[in-house]
């Protein structure tokens, strides 16, 4: 039983009008499945730009129960029309590839910064009562000064993506504080599970590891493999989004997500191989473009969201990896080359 089924998710979202930007992507589509289950009227907005992870196969089970609009969040006129009358906005549209942001910083700026400001301005003028949960990232902390990282940690991002996501997040908090546009932000750590992009490492390195393993290729672990990370299964992150949306005390707040059992990358690769009952990994040097923006060890302190909203992860890394492998063994062909 999911955490939100024990709480108030069912009645809070029934018949509510919900818009999810980035709705055909990884987290957005998993969120859509849950909202449909809870009886919400769901509109998914996605540009379907190939590099950003949107995939129509992600909604194959609910395609008749949701509305889909292929639009870019940078189009202010489309967003003005789509946001009107909605009760909740889950704002997940974004460029997530850290390396891409260094190669093409202007596109990252447009999507993760300027477009976020445009969305908030649209809400201010055309739907000021909407409630917004923004998908942010732990990448803005940069190389940690201490572990675990809490929300009081200084922000010193190591790449353009982290800087622009930081600005996008603070636009949401500013509009909450100044204009009363109820908004909060989740600083997501490594999220994984069914429906994630696995054809490359643009969304998460764990995705390409799963593809390599199922395809019979060797997993490539960058660096020395000792880098510590924390991981959240996508269903737990969906819980965090939904709980943040319905709790008034969440608005104006920034929350870390995280887990209790961080793991180094070498041990993670070994665990994945053990669960798969086949495969191998090797330790390889960082590609230069990734070494420059690597943050070393990271794991977060999620005590704030636990104490304020009651959220905590409920899926072990073993169970989450097993569910992910099962999904991609069954449906991988819809993701390998999409």
Rg of the chain (C-alpha set)? 19
Please, which pLDDT band fits residue 6 given cuts at 50, 70 and 90? very low
| CB of 208 closer than 8 Å to CB of 201 | yes
| CB of 308 closer than 8 Å to CB of 254 | no
pLDDT for the residue numbered 1:
39
What is the percent of the chain with per-residue pLDDT over 70, rounded to a whole number?
94
Domains within the chain, CATH numbers bracketed: 3-196+233-260+300-314 (3.40.50.720)
The pLDDT tens digits for 317-338 are 999 999 999 999 999 999 998 6
Does the pLDDT of residue 8 top 90, yes or no?
Answer: no
CB atoms within 10 A of CB 115: 23
- Average pLDDT value for residue range 108-117: 91
Q: Strands 281-284, 219-222: parallel, antiparallel or unpaired by DSSP?
A: parallel
Whole-model pTM: value is 0.95
Please, which pLDDT band fits residue 50 given cuts at 50, 70 and 90? confident
| CB of 211 closer than 8 Å to CB of 328 | yes
Cα–chain center distance at 328: 19
Closest CA to 161 of 181, 188, 182: 188
The pLDDT tens digits for 144-203 are 999 999 999 999 999 999 999 999 999 999 999 999 999 999 999 999 999 999 987 666
The pLDDT tens digits for 289-317 are 777 678 889 999 999 999 999 999 999 99
| CB of 210 closer than 8 Å to CB of 197 | no
What distance in Å separates the CA atoms of residue 73 and residue 93, rounded to the nearest whole number?
Answer: 7
Buried b (16+ CB within 10 A) or exposed e, 289-310: ebeebebeebbbbbebbeeebe
The pLDDT tens digits for 196-244 are 999 876 668 999 999 999 999 999 999 999 999 999 999 999 999 999 9
Closest CA to 331 of 58, 52, 2, 78: 58
């Amino acid at each position: 039983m999911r955490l939100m089924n024990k709480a108030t998710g069912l009645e809070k979202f029934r018949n509510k009008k919900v818009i999810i930007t980035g709705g055909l992507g990884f987290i957005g589509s998993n969120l859509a499945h849950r909202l449909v289950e809870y009886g919400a009227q769901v509109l998914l907005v996605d540009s379907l730009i190939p590099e950003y992870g949107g995939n129509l196969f992600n909604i194959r089970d609910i395609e008749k129960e949701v509305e889909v609009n292929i639009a870019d969040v940078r189009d202010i006129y489309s967003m003005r029309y789509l946001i009107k009358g909605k009760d909740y906005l889950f704002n997940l549209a974004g460029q997530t590839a850290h390396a891409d942001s260094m190669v093409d910083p202007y596109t990252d700026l447009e999507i993760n910064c300027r477009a976020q400001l445009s969305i908030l301005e649209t809400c201010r003028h055309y739907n000021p009562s909407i409630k917004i949960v923004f998908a942010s990232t732990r990448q803005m902390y940069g190389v940690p000064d201490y572990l675990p990282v809490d929300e009081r940690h200084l922000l010193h991002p190591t790449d353009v993506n982290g800087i622009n996501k930081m600005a996008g997040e603070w636009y949401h908090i500013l509009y909450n504080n100044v204009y009363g546009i109820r908004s909060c932000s989740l600083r997501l750590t490594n999220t994984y599970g069914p429906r994630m992009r696995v054809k490359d490492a643009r969304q998460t390195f764990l995705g390409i590891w799963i593809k390599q393993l199922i395809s019979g290729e060797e997993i490539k672990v960058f660096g020395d493999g000792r880098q510590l990370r924390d991981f959240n299964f996508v269903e737990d992150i969906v819980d965090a989004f939904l709980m943040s949306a319905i709790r008034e005390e969440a608005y104006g707040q920034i929350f870390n997500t995280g887990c209790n059992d961080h793991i180094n990358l070498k041990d993670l690769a070994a665990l994945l191989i053990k669960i798969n009952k086949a495969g191998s990994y090797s330790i390889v040097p960082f590609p230069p473009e990734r070494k420059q923006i690597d943050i070393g060890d990271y794991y977060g302190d999620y005590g704030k969201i636990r104490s304020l909203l009651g959220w905590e992860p409920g899926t072990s890394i073993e169970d989450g990896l097993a569910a992910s492998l099962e999904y991609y063994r069954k449906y991988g062909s819809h993701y390998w080359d999409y």
